[in-house]
Structure 1
Amino acid sequence: MKKKIGVLFGGRSVEHEVSVITGMQVIENIDKSKYEVVPIFINKDGKWLTGEELLKFDNFKNNNLKNLKEIVVTSLYNDNKIYSHPENIGFLGKKFVEDLDAVFIALHGTNGEDGTIQGVFELINIPYVSAGVVGSAVGMDKILMKDVFKSHGLPIVGYTWFFRKKWNDDKEAVISQIEEKLNYPVFVKPANLGSSVGISKAKDRDGLIESIEVAIRYDRKIIVEQSIENPREINCAVMGYDDEVKASLCEEPIGWTDLLTYEDKYVNSNSKGTKGGGRNIPADIPEDKAKEIQETAKKSFMSIDCKGNARIDFLMDKDENIYVNEINTQPGSIAYYLWEPMGISFTKLIDELIEIATKVHKEKNQNMYSYDVDLFSRVQFGGSKAKKI
């Protein structure tokens, strides 16, 4: 009997379109002999929708999404069902129900890659493909991520950060803080955003002010990082959970200089991952350097308690020193191009990720969630405060 897998994509995020593409790729490449796909689309207004029209990418390109059913996910524990939204059932309407064996989260960015949606499926106890609540939240917040990496002794560039309110209250204090800790040029980034949106390079104080004014439009926390001049970007994916993890081949984007734009990442790159075009796989680096990057990638993955599949991005300077730039817990196309040369097809990758999600879910349910103690009999109410135990 086929398992029903909900593929969740779209979302209220600046990375909405990227998520749709990833969701479509998962739907196209999932093993149809083993799984029945239930597409679940979150539109830009935050509505959850399903319907057969979501199985064809042309319907998104042509904006032909008119006959979708609005749905809700139950809040009941161990109830793996999705229901018609109550407002759309009507007097004679029939409630639409789907049972899900697992959910493949293909959401990118805010509200999908930051631990929020992961928490929903934790509460209702449905297996889901994702980095988990902690891994997603820490991996999304560049400040927390670097703090964790630093505590584990992983190589990172110098950085500092501040709140948007502090900038609005005292710009000179923020500028002084940055200039005391870092040298120009620097990168200014929203702490909780991906795909290069809101990120810019500042070569002097005027550029810094301009970059901050852009970044604060996207987040309340801003991180400023020391720039490494003329670096090479080397990326490596990691898959698994706990300490049972494996690293992919390394890749190097071609023509990369200071910053890959949104279009560079998702439009102009060579999605097939062959040598030439958008990226070199494997990266043209010494074997010992590739192994160092792979081992550091695995340590980075485990340091934030990540699960499933993630891509870790590195910077390498002219002396071949490496720095962990960031971890992408929901990489576009789930980074299948890094696994294919190792004999793991896109279909097999999806299969392995569903297996990991099932194992993580099974292990979670081995935990005890109740502890019997006669606590109530030892507490008395009746006054303004409860008496001490």
Structure 2
Amino acid sequence: MKTRIGVLFGGMSVEHEVAIISGLQALHALDTNQYDGVPIYITKKGEWYTGSELTSIDAFKDTAAVTKMAKRVVLHTDANGRHLLIDPNPGLFKPKVIDEIHVAFPVTHGTFGEDGALQGLLEMNKVPYVGCDVLSSAVGMDKVSAKTILKGAGLPQTDYLWFYSKAWSDDREACVKRVESELGYPVIVKPANLGSSVGVERAVDRTELEDAIDLVVGFSHKVLIERMVDNLKEVNCSIVGDYEGAEASVVEEVAKTDEILSYQDKYMNQGAKGMSGSARIIPANLSAETTAQVQELARRTFLELGCSGVSRIDFLIDTVTGDVHINEINTIPGSLSFYLWEPSGKSFTQLTTQLIQLALKRARERASLTFSIDSNLLSMHSKGGKLGSKG
């Protein structure tokens, strides 16, 4: 019997539609000689659906219609360790099993899918899953947390500061003065926990700064503000592997239509390969030395954050000084960054196979660990008091 791979896509995120495209790309890239793909669509409300109706991108032009045709399911791991997709409205005597999966393959960008929430659900159900674990997913999604760890590791980043949205609502003037005294203008203002350039704004003066922060606090409780890099060139590098071995892809240079690579640049323009509409230069116009530096910094970022599977690390380069700055990590990158691996001779199908094998490897390693002990302290507890003793 083939291994059944549950490819999860969509999700409760502003990146919902992007995740549908990425997820279906991954589903169709599976090696059908080894795996049977099971599409699992997560709606914006968090409902799970499966069925053959969910395998075509055209079907999602009308999500209401496609979910009526598909089957609503919930994940359940039974006493025999089988990972079942069951009808949420069970029969009288036993749940109705719709399908079964052996490995979960999350391709869910953004909140509740890339931030550790979905990974936690899969952990609790003991389902092997592709990609970063709970901790590295959560840290990678929270740009402030990731920057704090990378700063501690001595890795290069642009100057930045952050504050909670409550600080903004309590004292706007103090926040503005802090930005002006510590960073100056121009700056980039962004939510701490979103991707796809959602909510990212450039500010060159106080008015633009205030407007940008007003926008960001509608998306996130943490506001991140970075000093803008002069003479900017943006490049990206993907890493695949785990703590035992992390391989770097070719480096891409990202073309853009404005000072910031926007959602429009990434997903709405035409002509680029894969999901993203942004124009790419592969390999990037960099010296061999700078390319090697970017690849090594990408590897170190991946390992410092405890990542697994495939990630993409984005960089900002000052073309005059040559300084390379780590911008952010994407632990579930758009299209799984397959377009960065194909130039190295790794097809999309080979990439998905490698990711599944890494997931199974981690599951085997976790199975060898002890998470609970065979004892019951309560059964040995004296009957003396309500709260007992502590020592």
Q: Percent identity?
A: 42
* 1:120 and 2:121 aligned: yes
Letter of the aligned partner of 1:55 in structure 2? Answer: T
Q: Structure 2: which 5+ residue stretches go unaligned? A: none
Deviation at 1:31, TM superposition (A): 1.4
TM-score of the two chains, using structure 1 as the length reference: 0.94
Partner residue of 1:61? Answer: 61
Change (3 A) 1:93 1:357: closer
Provide, for residues 173-213 of structure 1, a one-character-per-residue CA deviation record: whole Å limited to 9, x for no partner: 21122222111111111111011111101101111100000
**2:373 is matched with which residue?**
371
Would the aligned equivalents of 1:132 and 1:306 in 2 still touch at CA under 8 Å? yes
Question: Offset of 1:254 from its aligned partner?
Answer: 2.1
Give the equivalent residue in structure 1 for 2:154. 153
- The answer to whether structure 1 residue 129 and structure 2 residue 100 are counterparts is no
Paired AA for residue 132 in structure 2: A
How far is 1:247 from its partner?
Answer: 0.2
Structure 1 residues 260-269 or 203-212, which shifts more? 260-269
1:303 matched to 2:293: no
Distance 1:160 1:118 in 2: 29
Measure how far apart 1:267 and its partner are. Answer: 2.8
Equivalent-residue separation in structure 1 for 2:121 and 2:31 (angstroms): 26
Query: What are the Cα deviations for residues 43-102 of structure 1, in whole angstroms up to 9, with x where unaligned?
Result: 11211111111011111124440211111112657341111112xx56799813322110
Aligned counterparts of 1:191 and 1:354: Cα–Cα separation in 2: 29
The Cα of 1:243 is off from its aligned counterpart by: 3.5
Runs of 4+ aligned structure 1 residues displaced above 6 Å come to 90-94
Q: CA deviation at 1:29?
A: 1.6
Is residue 138 from structure 1 mapped to residue 139 from structure 2 by the alignment?
Answer: yes
CA deviation profile, 1:237-294 (whole Å, cap 9, x unmatched): 0000113110000000124652111121123265438xx9811111111111101110
- Structure 1 distance, partners of 2:289, 2:257, is 23
Shift of 1:9: 0.4
Deviations 1:318-356 (CA, angstroms, capped at 9, x unpaired): 221100000011111000000001110011111111111
Query: Cα distance 1:76–1:96, how it changes in 2: closer, same or farther (>3 A)?
Result: closer
| 1:2 aligned onto 2:2 | yes
Shift of 1:34: 1.4
Q: Distance in 1 between matches of 2:6 and 2:278?
A: 34
Aligned runs of 1:1-389 on 2, under 5 Å?
1-63=1-63, 64-65=65-66, 66-74=68-76, 78-86=81-89, 89=90, 95-255=96-256, 257-268=258-269, 270-272=271-273, 278-317=279-318, 318-372=320-374, 375-376=377-378, 379-389=381-391
Number of residue pairs aligned between Structure 1 and Structure 2: 385
Deviation at 1:377, TM superposition (A): 6.6
Letter of the aligned partner of 1:82 in structure 2?
Answer: L
In 2, Cα distance between the equivalents of 1:150 and 1:179?
22
Q: Report the AA paired with residue 353 of structure 1.
A: L
Contact residue 266 and residue 278 of structure 2 kept, 8 A: no
Q: Deviations over 1:130-156 (max 9, x none)?
A: 211111100100100100110111000
Partners of 2:25 and 2:294 in 1: CA distance: 28
For residues 46 and 22 of structure 1, the distance between their equivalents in structure 2, rounded to whole angstroms, comes to: 18
Shift of 1:368: 1.4
Asked if structure 2 preserves the Cα contact closer than 8 Å seen for 1:19 and 1:108, the reply is: yes
Taking the aligned partners of 2:171 and 2:31, their CA distance within structure 1 comes to 56
- Paired residue type of 2:86: Y
| Matched AA of 1:306 | C
- Partners of 1:12 and 1:75 in 2: CA distance: 23
Distance 1:372 1:47, change over 3 A: closer
* Local SS of the residue matching 1:265: helix
- CA–CA separation in structure 2 for the residues paired with 1:323 and 1:116: 29
Letter of the 2:195 counterpart: G
Give the conservation status (yes or no) of the 8 Å contact 1:159–1:224.
Answer: yes
Equivalents in 2 of 1:269, 1:316: separation in Å? 26
Counterpart CA distance in 2 for 1:388 and 1:43 is 47
CA contact (8 A) 1:7 1:37 kept: yes
Give the gaps of 5 or more residues in structure 1: none
For residues 142 and 112 of structure 1, the distance between their equivalents in structure 2, rounded to whole angstroms, comes to: 16
